[in-house]
Structure 1
C-alpha cells in the first residue's frame, strides 16, 4: 500500500530552466512523473482537434452579425487565421526556448516573475479554460438535441445536463489513460476534418446546380465601426483558440525542439483553409437572414442541402466538439498541474496518480469549475468574455518574448522568429482589446476586474509566509487527504 507523509513528498518541485534552455529534472528518473508519449502526429491531432471544435459551428453567425456582410466575415475568418499563425510562430520560439509544460504560465513567469504568472493562472483557472470547455460542451449538447426538437430550441436544462455528462465522461477518460486520450484525439480529428470537407463539397454541388444568388453582392451591408469589427475578430479568434494548447504539454512531447514547431506549422494552415472553405459553404447555401436566425448553423445547413440525410450534420458536429473538448481537458489540466507544482495553487492539484501517471486531482478540479459555468448557458457573452481575457494574456506572453530578447540574449533559441511578427501581433491585440472596450464594456470590464482580484489573492495565499498555524495545518490535511483519496503523489516521488 502507498504511504504518504504530510512532511515528505507534498512540496511541489518546480523544474528549472537554465541559460541553456534545457530543463533540469532532478537526479532520479525513477519517481512518479508524466511520460513523454506524444508524437508529432499526436501533436498535430491535439492542435487541430482542440481548434476545430465548437467555434466553427457557433462563430459564423456571430462573425456575420458584427461584420455585417458575408464578404467581410470571410475576410475576418482568413485574417483571424493569419493572426493565429503569427501567434503560433511566436509561441514556437517560446516553447522551444522554455521547454516547460504550462504554456503562457511558464513564459510569463520566466519573463515577468511570479505575480503576472499567478494572474494568468488565476484567469485561466476561472475564466479561460472552464469557459472554453463549457462553450464546447454546450455546443455538443445543442447539436445532439437539435434533431429531436426540429421546430424549436432544445430545453436549456436538457442542454446543460448533456453538456455536464460529456464533460464528466471525458474527464474520467483523461484520468484513466493518456494513450486512450490520444487515440480518441487522433480518431476524432480525422473524422472532423472529413466532416468539414463533406460540408464544402456538398456546397460545391449546390453551387454547380445553379444556386449562386447567395454569393452575389457579398460585401453588401459591411460594417466599418472599429468596435464592431473588433468583436467580429473576437468571434473568429475564438474559433482558432487552442493553437497554443500544445505548449501546455511540452514536457510530454517527444523531441519538443523539432516536433513543437513542426506541429504548429502543419496544423495552422490546415485549420485556416478548412475554416475558410466551411464558411464559403455556409454562405453559398444559406441566406444572411437564415444564418442570423440560427443557433446551430450546421444543422440549418444540413436541413436545406442534405434533406433526409440531414441527421448526419449534427453527428459531425458532435464528433468535432467531442474531440475538441477531449483535447482541451487533456492539455489544460497540465496548466493547473504545473501551477500547483510551482506553489501557486494547492499542492493537491500537482499530484499524479501512482498507477496511471495522470494528474487526476487537477482534472477533477477543472471538471468541477466547468460544471459550475455550464449553468450560465449564454454562449455569445461567454465568447466575448473569454476572448478578451485571453487576448490580454497572449499579449503578455508575446511581450515576454521581446523582453527576453533584450534581457536574456544568450538563452538558447532553437527557433528565432523575425521581430516583425511579434510586433505586428502586439499591435493587433492592442487594437482589439481597446476597441472592444467601447462595444462590450461590461464583458471586458468583468474580465479585467476578475484579473485584478487575483492581486490580493496572490499576496495573501502565495507571498504571505507567516501564515497562522491553523491555516497551515488545514492545507497539510487537505493535501494529505487528496493524496490518499486519489492514490496520488507529487512528481518525482517514490512509492513507499
Structure 2
C-alpha cells in the first residue's frame, strides 16, 4: 500500500498552492474494481479513477488560462446566447399563458441548479480531467467495457452542433437589412458566422478566452439595458405602449393543457439555460477547479436567472401577447422596434448579434474539450488527430469537426423549421445521457466507498440528483405523447415524434457500432482489444486501443500495467505499488 512518503510536494503553479507529485502510480484494486491514482498540476489532491479512463495529463498542454472571471463568463456567455432573444415566443406558445411562461423560467432555474450540483460532485472526483459528461459516463459505467465512451462519442461528434445558434445569428444579421432573406441567403450567413468563430477559437486559446470575457460582459449589459427599459415601460415612460400591464391581468388566461406543447416549452426553457455547466468542460485548465467552479457556476446561473426573468417582464410589458406569439426568433428586435422605432431597433440588433457570436464561441471552446477528451479515451480512430494541440496550442481536431457537423446541419434542414427541430433533436440523446450520468453518480459513490477512497471536496444532497433524474425522465417520456391538434402539429411543422425518433436512432446506431467493433469483429478476427499509452510531443497523453491476438494476450497483459503503461518502458510499477485494497488509501 502506498504511504505518504510516496508523495513529494511541488509549489508555485500559478496561485501559490502546492500540488502532489507521485513518485509511483497508485493502484487501488478490489475484485473487479481497478482504480489508479494520478496527480494533475491544477489540484492539491490525487485523482483516483477507473484504469480504463483516459490518463490524467499531469501538465495540461492547453495551459491553465481559465481563472475565476473566465470560468464565470464561460458559463454566462454560453447561457446567454440566442435563447432569451429567441425562445420567449416558443415558450409562450407551449405554455399558452404569460403566467405559466414566467413560472417555467423559475422551474428552468431550479432544474439547472440541480444539474450544476450533480456536475460539481462528479468533477470533485476527477478534478484533473476536462470534458465534463465525457468523463462522468466513462467512470460511472466501466462495464460493458468501452460501451458508454463509444456511444457518447458517436452522439457527441454527430449531434453536438451549433447550427441552431448559427441560424439565429443569421436571422438577426438579416434584420439589419430591409428585406427578408431567401432560404440559402440565411444559410450562407449562418455558415459564415460559424466559420469566423471557428477560425477565432482555433487560432489562439488565450485570445478566444479573452473574447468570451469581453462578449460576456456585453451580454450582461444588454440584458440590463432591456431590464431597465422594461421598468421604464411599466412606469409609463413610453407613450407608444398604452397598456404596459395588460399581459399581467388574467395572466393565466389561455394556459395550455396539451402535454406535448408543455413538454416542448420545458425543452426550450432548458435550452435557454444551456451552458450552465460549460466551465466543467475545461476543469483541467482551472487551478483548484472545485472551489472556483462552485462559486462561478452557481453565481453565473443565478445572475442570469434574475436577468432572464426581468427581461421577460420587459417583453410582456412592451409587446402584446399576440405579437410575441408571432415573433419566432426575433422577439428582441420587435421589442427594440416598439420602444425606439425601426431605425434605432436596427442599430440595437447588434447586441443580439454579439450575444449569439459569444454563445457560439464559448460553446465551441467547451465542446472542443469534450471531443478532445473522447479522443484521449482512444475510442475514436486516429487518436492523434483528436488529441494533439498542434499547431496553435488548441484542440483543432474537435474544433474542425464541430464546425463541419454544424455546417452540414445548416445545409440539410429547411431554414424555417431548422431551429426548433434541431433543439428537439438534440434534446433526446442529451436527456438520455444526463439521466444515465445522474444515476451513475450513485454508482460512483458506491465504487469509491467500496475502495475506501478519500471523500471528495463536494457532495450534493441526495434529493438533488433524484429531482434532476425525475426532470430528465419527464423530458424522455413527454415528447412521445401526441399533440391535441394532430400528429403533425409540432413545433417544427411535421410528425411530432420525428425528433425523438431520430435522436433515439442515434443511440441505437451507437449500440450497433459498439457490438460490431468490440464484440463481433474481435471474435471473427480472433483478437482482443487492449489499451496502450500514447505520448505526443506536445505533452498530450491519451489511450490508444490496439488489437492483440488472443494467442499473445497473456504475455501482452504481463508486460502492461492495468492503466496501459508498458512495464518494459517504465520503472514506475513494481509489486509494492500494485495495491490490493481492502480498507482505505
TM-score by length of 2: 0.74
Residues 28, 449 of structure 1: CA spacing in aligned structure 2 closer, same or farther, 3 A cutoff?
closer
Q: Which runs of 4+ in 1 moved over 3 A?
A: 16-21, 23-30, 459-468, 487-490
Distance 2:384 2:302 in 1: 39
CA distance in 2 between counterparts of 1:305 and 1:466 reads 69
- 1:101 lines up with 2:152 in the alignment: no
Out of 198, 213, 216, which is 1:189 matched to?
216
Equivalent-residue separation in structure 1 for 2:233 and 2:155 (angstroms): 45
1:437 aligns with 2:437: no
Correspondence for 2:72 among 24, 37, 44: 44
Show structure 2 runs of 5+ residues with no match.
1-34, 39-44, 237-241, 483-495, 526-535, 543-585
Is residue 123 of structure 1 aligned with residue 155 of structure 2?
yes
Equivalences for residues 451-466 of structure 1 within 5 A: 451-461=507-517, 464-465=521-522
Matched residues in 1 for 2:401 and 2:517: separation?
18
Deviates more, 1:436-445 or 1:157-166: 436-445
Tell me by how many angstroms 1:88 deviates: 0.7
> What SS is found at the alignment partner of 1:18?
strand
After TM superposition, give the deviation of residue 392 of structure 1 in Å: 1.3
**Structure 1 stretch 454-463 or stretch 91-100: which is displaced more?**
454-463
More strand by share: 2
Q: Does 1:421 align with 2:453?
A: no
Q: Which sections of structure 1, spanning at least 5 residues, go unmatched?
A: 1-15, 469-486
Task: Say if 2:390 is the partner of 1:362.
Answer: no
Which protein shows a greater Rg? 2
Q: In the aligned structure 1, how far is the partner of 2:116 from the partner of 2:182?
A: 38
Residue 177 of structure 1 and its aligned partner are, at CA, apart by: 0.9
> Contact 2:259–2:481 (CA<8 Å) still a contact in 1?
no
Aligned pair 1:323/2:323, yes or no? no
Aligned to 1:353: 389
1:474 aligns with none
Q: Following TM superposition, by how much is the alpha carbon of 1:117 offset from its aligned partner in structure 2, in angstroms?
A: 2.8
C-alpha displacement of 1:404: 1.6
Given that 1:93 and 1:415 are in contact with CA atoms closer than 8 Å, whether structure 2 keeps it comes out as yes
Query: Per-residue CA shift, 1:218-251, capped at 9, x if unaligned?
Result: 1110013333221110010011111222221111
Matched, 1:221 2:254: yes
Which residue number in structure 1 is paired with residue 505 of structure 2?
449
Q: CA deviation at 1:348?
A: 3.8
* SS of 1:242 mapped into structure 2: coil
Which position in structure 1 is the counterpart of 2:562? none
In 2, Cα distance between equivalents of 1:88 and 1:80: 12
1:155-201 per-residue CA deviation (whole Å, 9 max, x = no partner) reads 22122111111211111111111110111000000001111111111
Are the aligned partners of 1:95 and 1:260 in contact in 2 as well (CA < 8 Å)?
no
**For 1:379-426, what per-residue CA distance to the aligned partner results, in whole angstroms no more than 9, with x for missing partners?**
011111112221111111111112222232244321011101000111
Name the count of aligned residue pairs.
457
2:193 to 146, 166, 170: 166
Deviations 1:46-87 (A, max 9, x none): 011111101112211111011000111111111011111111
| Cα RMSD (Å) | 2.6
2:370 matched to 1:335? yes
Alignment of 1:90-489 (within 5 A): 90-99=118-127, 100-113=129-142, 114-127=146-159, 129-130=160-161, 133-149=162-178, 153-209=180-236, 211-295=244-328, 296-307=330-341, 308-346=343-381, 347-375=383-411, 376=413, 377=415, 378-409=418-449, 410-411=452-453, 412-439=455-482, 440-461=496-517, 464-465=521-522
Q: How far apart are 1:120 and its partner, in Å? A: 1.9
Higher relative contact order (CA 8 A, sep 6+): 1
Residues 78-135 of structure 1: CA distance to partner in whole angstroms, max 9, x if unpaired? 10111111111111111111221111111011011221232122112111x21xx111
CA distance in 1, matches of 2:189, 2:504: 31
What is the rounded CA distance, in whole Å, between the counterparts of 1:313 and 1:381 in structure 2?
28
Q: Say which SS state the counterpart of residue 283 (structure 2) adopts.
A: helix
Q: How does 1:49-60 map onto structure 2 within 5 Å?
A: 49-60=77-88
CA contact (8 A) 1:51 1:242 kept: yes
| Whole-Å separation in 2 of the counterparts to 1:384 and 1:335 | 21
Q: Distance in 2 between matches of 1:341 and 1:193?
A: 35
208-217 or 91-100: which moved more?
208-217
Call closer, same or farther: CA 1:361–1:428 in 2, change over 3 Å: closer
**Farther-moved stretch of structure 1 (343-352 vs 367-376):** 343-352
Greater helix share, 1 or 2?
1
Q: 1:350·1:490 contact (CA, 8 Å) conserved in 2? A: no
* CA gap 1:394/1:29 in 2 versus in 1, 3 angstroms: closer
In 2 relative to 1, CA 465–172 (structure 1 residues): closer, same or farther, beyond 3 Å? farther
Aligned to 1:472: none
